[in-house]
Each structure stands twice: as structure tokens, then as C-alpha cells.
Amino acid sequence: MELLRAGLEDPRAWKQAVDAVSSFLPEGVFYFTEEGARLSAIDPSQVVLVDFFAPKNVFTEYETADASIRVPLDLGEYTKILSRASTDDRLLMVLEDVNLFVALERSDGSLRREFYIPLMDVPDRGADISPTGGTVTVRLLARIFKDALKDAVLFSSAAVLVARGDVFMVEAKGQGGTARTVARRGENVSIEGGPEAVSMYSLPFLQNIVRPADPDSFVELSFGSDTPLKVSYAVGGVNLTFYLAHMIL
């Protein structure tokens, strides 16, 4: 009996978004509801909360046998399968009793690749999303933020984000030197709220969080002074939101 049937004509966005999530979560539970597919969980180190949401309209086929279908998966194995999808493959997922069936099909029907992965015994981790207390919201080109993080990582494993007036800065200090990116409000950077926000975050986590973002797309950062950071962006039609704990300045 089919509990779920979900298809995507172009699996690229789904694949990239799942890949982003799997870099934090070894396993996870997707819930397929009338709104779409959601996965929310805290990473094992309790530093980042991941929220993945693919609205129903992203799918070209979408049927659920119940109001909410639970699909607990080994995200490592699932990602490996998705990594095998070509751009001209149609992706179909069907939930049967104890397996998720995944098919990759060429548009001309000549070739069909089938995968079965067993459902896992994954406990639901409470992942209630609470407001971050962010006082400033910075929206900027992903390329600029990614470059700033690469600069910062030269000298430290932590970066201080600063929003002040017309300026958003990423700073890192270490024994070898100091790196600071100064981005001014303009075409590629908008800053709202204020007057000031200053918080420190782990650089490896920040880099993993923004890795799948298209460099030419925008990412949104919300934070205050000594508060967690909320990062949101879309990959294709899939919305990714991350809440990252701050470090003590």
C-alpha cells in the first residue's frame, strides 16, 4: 500500500537542500502533509537548529494517504542516492511499508534506476522554533557572505558579525592576523533594524549553513547582540532556515 507518492520533474533543488541538511543531521524525519514536506531538527552537537520546508507546489506529483506521513531516514544514505540524479532525471519517491522507494527516470522512459532504503528508527527531537531576539536583519548577496567567511577562516575558527548604521561587517582575529569584510548598504546589501548588533559564531558552522546557497542569490541574516543567528534562503523552491547558537564574545 502506498502511503506517500511524491515526484519532482527536476530534482536539483531538492537534492541540494537535502544535502545541506545532511551536513548537520546524520538522520532525520520528513513529515509530508497537505502543506508540503518539512524536516526540523537540532544537530547532535545542539548548536544549530535546521528547518527544511518544501511547499507542495514544488512537487509535480504529490499524494499522501494520511494527514501527516512520517518518513524517518538515514540522511547519509538518502543523500548518496540523490547525488546520482542527473539533470534529465525525474525523481519519484514512494513510501511502502518499511522502505522508501526512490526512482530516477529518464524523460524518454528508456532507463529507470530504482533504489530502496529502509526506514530508520529515529526519535523525534523536539525542535520548537523560537524567535531569536534578532534586532537587525541583513539581506545580502550569498557570494559576499561566503567570501567574507573564507577571509575570516584564514585567521580564526570564529567570526564576529557586526551590523551598525550603513555597514555590515564580518571580523576574525587570530595570532596570524586580522580579517575584516566591510559591506555597505547598497544594491547587494540591505540592513534593517538596529541601531547595532554584535555577535560571534562558529565559522565551520556558518560555512556549512550557506554552502548550498547560489552565490548570486540572497541570504537573510537576523541577529542581535549576543543572540543566536537566524539564516534563511531558498534553494529552488525549498526554504532553508538555520538557527545557530552564538559564542561568548
Separation of first and last alpha carbons in the chain = 54
Degrees to nearest 5, angle at CA 125 with 228 and 21: 65
Instruction: Output the CA torsion 129→131→137→141 (10° steps).
Output: -10
Instruction: Please give, one letter per residue, the 3-state secondary structure of 169-221.
Output: EEEEEECCEEEEEEEECECCEEEEECCEEEEEEEHHHHHHHHCCCCCCCEEEE
Q: Which is nearer to a copy of itself, 39 or 104 (CB)?
A: 104
**Could you tell me the smallest distance in angstroms from the CB atom of residue 189 to a copy of itself?**
8
**Could you tell me the smallest distance in angstroms from the CB atom of residue 180 to a copy of itself?**
4
Q: Which is nearer to a copy of itself, 49 or 138 (CB)?
A: 138
Q: Which is nearer to a copy of itself, 157 or 178 (CB)?
A: 178
SS3 label, residue 152: helix
Phi, psi of 56 (to 5 degrees): -50, -35
Q: Which is nearer to a copy of itself, 69 or 117 (CB)?
A: 117
List contacts with a copy of itself (CB under 8 A): 74, 77, 80-81, 84, 109-118, 144, 147-148, 150-151, 154, 176-184, 186-189
**Could you tell me the smallest distance in angstroms from the CB atom of residue 197 to a copy of itself?**
20
**Could you tell me the smallest distance in angstroms from the CB atom of residue 202 to a copy of itself?**
20
